[in-house]
Structure 1
């Protein structure tokens, strides 16, 4: 790997982590020149990194208006929730066809109380259980696209922590039928508040301009 590719990979990793951590919020513009300054590099590796993120759906290219964190419409957000739900239910179907073996332990980072990180990890683990590469890859991508939304609307969904704990319990015990129902209920609750989520994200985005 040459120096330019190495720098581009570094910037990609840093910006991706920033998107997941909530440093950038949906609708916010990402300035390549500021990133080049921040990482002490030329604009070229930064643009390579950002367009890799565009390809993954984590950054949107608005042409003359520049690069932004995607600000989803109600239709797009409902579709994304529905896509994630469908993928996870498919993963459950595939997992149920495999020999049953309860998960012995919580597989996530010890001491991590971040509901957004834990949700990502749980859904990734459910997909991993299906042992289907394309499905797992699709869940990772949808997980990444939903992470800024999940982080921005923390507190909007009541009892989210208890809900996640129940999903983990069902997954660990391999109670697949109950897990399917719980996953459908999880996504139904979020689809119900899509208008509130989109309106709230739109208001936050307006304050950035």
Structure 2
């Protein structure tokens, strides 16, 4: 929960979180509170508070020396996250198209999935689907899953083919409100990653050593 009474603390939390999600701080990397305090021009206390909040979100863990590090990805953790993401996406899809029978309804946010090349387009597409559930808990959990998988999605093109094409495909399915194709896409998308989970984890580990 954001505490509006402490905008400075919230800023530090958001900036550290954004750096983790965007892989500025890589999985397994040690996070030293004094160094982060210098980087963000603040004291150690709000940094440590932010790191403890991020521990609760699964993005940071305690290190063996009592400090902090970015949560590394394991094979089991990645497979569990893929399974959960797949199931939540399928749960979020409506059983039938809303609007006139047999006619697609406007896609709304789906039209903007590919507009910003700096953004995680697949995460944007998934957020559109989570929003279709009209259940705020699903939306919030879905957003968190996107954060957990952000670094993973960044290395997937090194292991999997057709990753960019997948983004075009899901955007098209969303525009057309093609629920059958969306369900098929979601299952295939996650199956491809589950079969390559070990290689994806290995690539993440290799990048953390660079």
Using structure 2 for the length normalisation, give the TM-score. Answer: 0.88
Q: Distance in 2 between matches of 1:171 and 1:10?
A: 34
Q: Distance in 1 between matches of 2:50 and 2:97?
A: 39
Q: Distance in 1 between matches of 2:134 and 2:95?
A: 11
Q: Distance in 2 between matches of 1:75 and 1:109?
A: 31
Spell out, residue by residue over 1:119-159, the C-alpha distance to the aligned partner (whole angstroms, 9 max, x if none): 11111111011111111111111111010111234432211
1:160 maps to which of 160, 163, 186: 163
Spell out, residue by residue over 1:57-101, the C-alpha distance to the aligned partner (whole angstroms, 9 max, x if none): 121223525212211211111010000000000011xx2356242
Give yes or no for the alignment of 1:29 onto 2:30.
yes
Q: Structure 1 residues 159 and 98 mapped into 2: Cα distance closer, same or farther (>3 Å)?
A: closer
Q: Distance in 2 between matches of 1:165 and 1:11?
A: 35
1:106 maps to which of 111, 128, 146: 111
Partner of 2:48: 47
CA RMSD of aligned residues (A): 1.9
Q: Distance in 1 between matches of 2:85 and 2:68?
A: 25
User: Per residue, is there more helix in 1 or in 2?
Assistant: 1
Partner of 2:202: 199
Give the gaps of 5 or more residues in structure 1: none
- Alignment length, in residue pairs? 201
Please list, as runs of the form range in 1=range in 2, the aligned pairs for 1:32-181 lying within 5 A after superposition.
Answer: 32-62=33-63, 64-92=65-93, 95-97=94-96, 99-100=98-99, 101-103=105-107, 106-108=111-113, 110=115, 112-114=116-118, 117-181=120-184
Deviation at 1:185, TM superposition (A): 0.3
Q: Distance in 2 between matches of 1:109 and 1:6?
A: 32
Q: Distance in 2 between matches of 1:69 and 1:158?
A: 28
Q: What SS is found at the alignment partner of 2:24? A: coil
Q: RCO (CA 8 Å, sep 6+): is it higher in 1 or 2?
A: 1
Give the gaps of 5 or more residues in structure 2: 100-104
Using structure 1 for the length normalisation, give the TM-score. Answer: 0.88
